[in-house]
């Protein structure tokens, strides 16, 4: 039997291909919660995931970046590079990142496509008021008190994806139902072709 190349050997070992699921949305929309739910769901399906979480990035690979448009762009670039490395290693990378600008998300998508990595963009869509009421990290409260500037959704813009592969309305839809829909689409691309 001829030796398999790296990609084929990985796929044979894991039973699936690498892929990227990119969750974008306002702070408090539920991206990290859904990413962790999807991670558990994929592990239960014996598909190997890895979460690239915006807050963790800020403590690691992006610890020296701020929140200017340039730094946000660079943060998204690094998140995409990390997701690409994970997907090329054979994993399903789950990115949970506000990623407010459409152009930056498109650039990331272009890089995945250029390397033949299946990719889906998921819009985690909850109304700003709902996100602000949840405020799991207290960011809206800090911003309203004048202690935080440039919070996406308040005083920094968010550009919704015009054509997401999936839209999850976490203000209306139950968390488990959202995770289930995510899991279906993630399994579809990881087990495709």
Binding positions for a copy of itself, rule: CB under 8 A: 3-4, 6, 9-10, 13-14, 39-40, 43, 46, 48-50, 52, 60-61, 78, 81-82, 84-86, 88-91
Structural element, H or E, at residue 6: helix 6-14
**Smaller CB separation from a copy of itself, 51 or 143:** 51
Both tokens assigned to 114: 């250029």
**Smaller CB separation from a copy of itself, 39 or 121:** 39
- Report the nearest approach of a copy of itself to the CB of residue 81 (Å): 4
Structural element, H or E, at residue 44: helix 31-44
User: Counting runs of H as helices and runs of E as strands, what totals does the chain give?
Assistant: 8, 5
**Smaller CB separation from a copy of itself, 75 or 125:** 75
- Report the nearest approach of a copy of itself to the CB of residue 11 (Å): 11
Structural element, H or E, at residue 24: strand 19-24
């Amino acid at each position: 039997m001829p030796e398999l190349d790296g990609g084929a050997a990985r796929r044979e070992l894991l039973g699936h291909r690498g892929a990227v699921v990119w969750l974008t949305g306002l702070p408090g929309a539920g991206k990290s919660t859904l990413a962790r739910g999807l991670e558990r769901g994929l592990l239960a399906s014996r598909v190997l995931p890895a979460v690239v979480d915006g807050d963790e990035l800020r403590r690691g690979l992006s610890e020296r970046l701020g929140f200017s448009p340039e730094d946000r762009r660079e943060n998204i670039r690094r998140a995409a590079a990390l997701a690409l490395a994970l997907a090329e290693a054979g994993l399903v990378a789950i990115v949970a990142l506000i990623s407010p600008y459409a152009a930056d998300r498109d650039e990331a998508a272009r890089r995945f496509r250029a390397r033949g990595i299946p990719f889906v963009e998921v819009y985690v869509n909850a109304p700003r008021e709902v996100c602000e009421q949840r405020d799991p990290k207290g960011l809206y409260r800090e911003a309203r008190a004048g202690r935080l500037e440039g919070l996406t959704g308040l005083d920094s813009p968010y550009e919704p994806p015009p054509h997401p592969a999936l839209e999850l309305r976490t203000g209306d839809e139950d968390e488990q139902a959202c995770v289930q829909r995510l899991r279906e689409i993630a399994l579809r691309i990881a087990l495709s072709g």
